[in-house]
Amino acid sequence: MSNILVFDLGTSYFKICLFDEYGQIVGLQRVPTPVQQTAEMRAELPTTSFIQCLTDATKRLSLEVGGLSDVAAVSFATQANSFVLLDKFDDALTSIILWNDQRALGLSSPLDELQATSEFKETTGLPGLTHEFLPAKTSWFQQHQPQVMEKTARVALISDYLTLWLTGNHVTEAGTAGLSGLVDIHRLHWWTEACDRIKLPVDWLPTIVRAGTDAGSLRQAVAAELGLPLGCKLIIGCLDQYAGAIGAGNTEPGSISETTGTVLATVRCSNQFEKNAPPSVFQGPTFSQDQYYQMVFGEVSAQLLEKYRNSLPDLPSFAELDKLADSVPAGAGGVHLHPDAASKSASEMFLDRQSHHTRGHDVRAIYEAVASELQQQIELLCKDEKPTVIYSVGGAARSDLWLRIKSETLGCPVRVMDCSEPTSLGAAILAQSGLAGVSPQELEQQWRPRQQTPRQL
């Protein structure tokens, strides 16, 4: 047995990806996340739908590749702050409440006073919390559904629930848990003061471990249902943004990667915690005890291109739009993106657009705005230390034009590993390194020559 199976738990799609022992993709299934909009501003995922979706997709993958009997380990890449409340029998009291659920909007938080202190940032690595984070929503349940909290015995993030289903163990990955704002990311312990303030008993919470930790063998019944061999292990994966960084080759201090997807996220690997990091920088633990990932998010991203494309009556392909943009000179003919484009409709996204401007100008303006936002993110992370190369992942990395615009804007090469699923690859690297007893850095170096020559612009 040598293959690795990865569950990529994205917000819009779940992906189940099979890798061989050299990091090559053997098979892939991609399914929309079965989210239910049960009420205005709600985003929920029933636990039964979650398990059934993953089971069905895994079975389809098994048919695609001729069986999964050679899978040695399973791992995952995951979203953060999506969680479920469980009773003492581990039965779900709620659906999985997704991170983008808006039920806690406008609700005052018991952590407001604490997060205003320097201790909060130094302990959690977070610049602050919003209504989309786990603490705000558990507070919502305490106020609006106290009967649910009275029956609660465990809290599980979405990847924790996957781990519980697969192995029966209540375990969480440090970087993912860290984004809850409830973790001392240096000691990898739940921060008692923060948990007490939101009335969340620490014994409800899972054990914190680093990415790459062996979580044990899969339960026999689950392995049989999924067509996986007895003895197949679960190796703890990590936050999807960190997994994408690992898959892109961002595993050494000083390395930088960017993901242009639903959000624009830039990640820097560092060998130290930055106490005086800019206010918008998130810091979290990596797979190694002497490293941190530093990260910046932004809404000026590929979602704007998707929103624009979906507004067009003929729904052209992204490749067609890319070709149109390639014929437009730098500057997009004076078209600019609105500063609040993320909250605007497609027809309101642009400034200084005239009747002679075309779709190509619009797309070029989006490309340039994202590149400019990326430059600002890198300046926040690197200050005056200019990077020598940027590793790029996400859907936008398929566009040579977009990569070229980023490279010209940043003044350094932008490199893309020729793997269509770098986030899943990062989780596979963690799994294989855990099995082989080598560091992710060593394994990434071993696997990289097996990948096709990376594109660099």
The whole-angstrom separation of Cα 72 and Cα 54 is 18
Contacts of 61 (CB under 8 A, 6+ apart): 5, 16, 18, 27, 28, 29, 68
**Residue 406 falls within a domain, yes or no?**
yes
With beta carbons less than 8 A apart as the criterion, state whether 341 and 300 touch.
Answer: yes
Do 232 and 266 fall within a single domain? no
At residue 180, φ and ψ (nearest 5 deg) are -80, -20
- Could you give the strand order of the β-sheet that contains 292-298, starting from the edge strand earlier in sequence? 282-285, 292-298, 264-270, 256-260, 390-393, 414-416, 455-456
pLDDT of residue 12: 87
Neighbouring-strand partners of residue 44: 36, 97
* CA distances for 212 relative to 175, 320, 430, angstroms: 12, 40, 5
* CA distances for 386 relative to 367, 381, 383, 390, 413, angstroms: 22, 10, 8, 10, 12
pLDDT of residue 457: 58
HEC secondary structure over the chain: CCEEEEEEECCCEEEEEEECCCCCEEEEEEEECCCECCCCCCCEECHHHHHHHHHHHHHHHHHHHCCCCCEEEEEEEECCCCEEEECCCCCECCCEECCCCCCCCCCCCCCHHHHCCHHHHHHHCCCCCCCCCHHHHHHHHHHHCHHHHHHCCEEEEHHHHHHHHHHCCCEEEHHHHHCCCCEECCCCEECHHHHHHCCCCHHHCCEEECCCCEEEECCHHHHHHHCCCCCCEEECCEEHHHHHHHHHCCCCCCCEEEEECCCEEEEEEECCCCCCCCCCCEEEECCCCCCEEEEEEECCCHHHHHHHHHCCCCCCCHHHHHHHHHCCCCCHHHCEECCCHHHCCHHHCEECCCCCCCHHHHHHHHHHHHHHHHHHHHHHHHCCCCCCCEEEECHHHHCHHHHHHHHHHHCCCEEECCCCCHHHHHHHHHHHHHHHCCCHHHHHHHHHHHCCCCEEC
**Residue 44 falls within a domain, yes or no?**
yes
With beta carbons less than 8 A apart as the criterion, state whether 235 and 74 touch.
Answer: yes
Nearest to 211 by CA among 171, 183, 249, 182: 171
**Residue 220 falls within a domain, yes or no?**
yes
Do 233 and 353 fall within a single domain? no
**Residue 340 falls within a domain, yes or no?**
yes
Do 232 and 127 fall within a single domain? yes
Do 227 and 371 fall within a single domain? no
Do 316 and 235 fall within a single domain? no
With beta carbons less than 8 A apart as the criterion, state whether 218 and 167 touch.
Answer: yes
The whole-angstrom separation of Cα 296 and Cα 309 is 26
The whole-angstrom separation of Cα 182 and Cα 186 is 12
With beta carbons less than 8 A apart as the criterion, state whether 194 and 178 touch.
Answer: no
The whole-angstrom separation of Cα 399 and Cα 366 is 13
Nearest to 336 by CA among 307, 382, 373, 385: 373
Do 231 and 260 fall within a single domain? no
The whole-angstrom separation of Cα 347 and Cα 333 is 18
Domain boundary among 194, 214, 240: 240
**Residue 121 falls within a domain, yes or no?**
yes
pLDDT of residue 263: 86
pLDDT of residue 450: 43
Query: What is the span of the domain harbouring residue 291?
Result: 250-416
**Residue 223 falls within a domain, yes or no?**
yes
pLDDT of residue 393: 84
Do 168 and 311 fall within a single domain? no
At residue 168, φ and ψ (nearest 5 deg) are 85, 5
Domain boundary among 211, 240, 269: 240
pLDDT of residue 447: 83
Do 158 and 76 fall within a single domain? yes
Do 142 and 219 fall within a single domain? yes
With beta carbons less than 8 A apart as the criterion, state whether 212 and 381 touch.
Answer: no
Do 183 and 269 fall within a single domain? no
The whole-angstrom separation of Cα 157 and Cα 348 is 37
pLDDT of residue 456: 58
Structure tokens at 119: 């201790």
Structure tokens at 237: 């994966």
pLDDT of residue 41: 86
CATH of the domain at 56: 3.30.420.40
Number of domains in the chain: 2
Q: 57-82 burial, b if ≥16 CB within 10 A, otherwise e?
A: bbbebbeebeebebbbbbbbbbbbbb
pLDDT along the chain (457 residues), means of 10: 93 95 94 86 95 98 97 97 98 97 90 88 94 95 96 98 98 98 97 95 98 97 97 97 92 92 91 92 95 94 94 96 96 95 94 96 97 95 87 86 94 85 94 91 75 49
**Residue 434 falls within a domain, yes or no?**
no
**Residue 429 falls within a domain, yes or no?**
no
pLDDT of residue 454: 46
pLDDT of residue 452: 39
Do 89 and 165 fall within a single domain? yes
The whole-angstrom separation of Cα 88 and Cα 433 is 34
Do 48 and 164 fall within a single domain? yes
* CA distances for 261 relative to 33, 420, 448, angstroms: 16, 13, 23
